[in-house]
Amino acid sequence: MAYEFLSCPTCGAKLKEYRNPLPTVDIIIEVDEGIVLIERKNSPLGWALPGGFVDYGEPLEKAAIREALEETSLRICNLRLLGCYSDPARDVRHHTISVVYVASGHGIPCAADDAANLQVFPLDSIPAKLCFDHRLILDDYLRRRSEGMLIPINSD
């Protein structure tokens, strides 16, 4: 792998720049009528799962709970791990690794933070075109849901 080199602003020494994937979470929020999708306020625009970047020092489960509340105004519980998605091309802005959870949502859904809009979609009416790799994620979700293969986790 080729490394980029940076120059120290003080002494001019060449330093390696290490680039690592950025950790993110995405959440499939189940409500009585279906699942919650947000319409993104920022590029890339379009429908997507609620989610975002994990803060430094933040456990993944707490990041999922925080992002769900920030973007949808919903409190979530009953977190279940769907999987991890790491294709370097999944996000055109950066190489990200997303840990995807399924959760039950409670409250009144309302778009906030990075969400311009929010809608609850019945499982048979999910848009075909979604941002990132969220269509693949939802296809995996629908298959695993029908097979009863979602793994519960402890999210204290």
Burial of 69 (0-12, 13-18, 19+ CB in 10 A): middle
| 4-8, 112-116, 120-124: segment of lowest average pLDDT | 4-8
Contacts of 32 (CB under 8 A, 6+ apart): none
Residue 19 one-letter amino acid: R
Cα–Cα nearest to 102, from 55, 33, 57, 35: 35
Mean per-residue pLDDT over the chain, rounded: 91
Q: What pLDDT does 149 receive? A: 83
Cα–Cα nearest to 31, from 59, 44, 50, 53: 50
Domains along the sequence of the chain with CATH: 20-152 (3.90.79.10)
Cα–Cα nearest to 98, from 34, 50, 56, 57: 50
Cα–Cα nearest to 39, from 152, 108, 130: 130
Q: What's the pLDDT band for 13 if we cut at 50, 70, 90?
A: confident
pLDDT at residue 153 greater than cutoff 70? no
Alpha-carbon distance values, 41 to 44, 55, 108, 111, 117 (Å) = 8, 20, 20, 10, 8
Of 125 and 7, the structure prediction assigns the larger pLDDT to 125
3-state secondary structure of 72: helix
Cα–Cα nearest to 105, from 53, 36, 56: 36
Q: What is the mean pLDDT of residues 68-87?
A: 96
How far the first Cα of the chain sits from its last, in Å, is 40
Q: What pLDDT does 14 receive? A: 82
- Can you give the pTM of this predicted structure? 0.87
45-62 pLDDT, tens digit each: 999 999 999 999 999 999
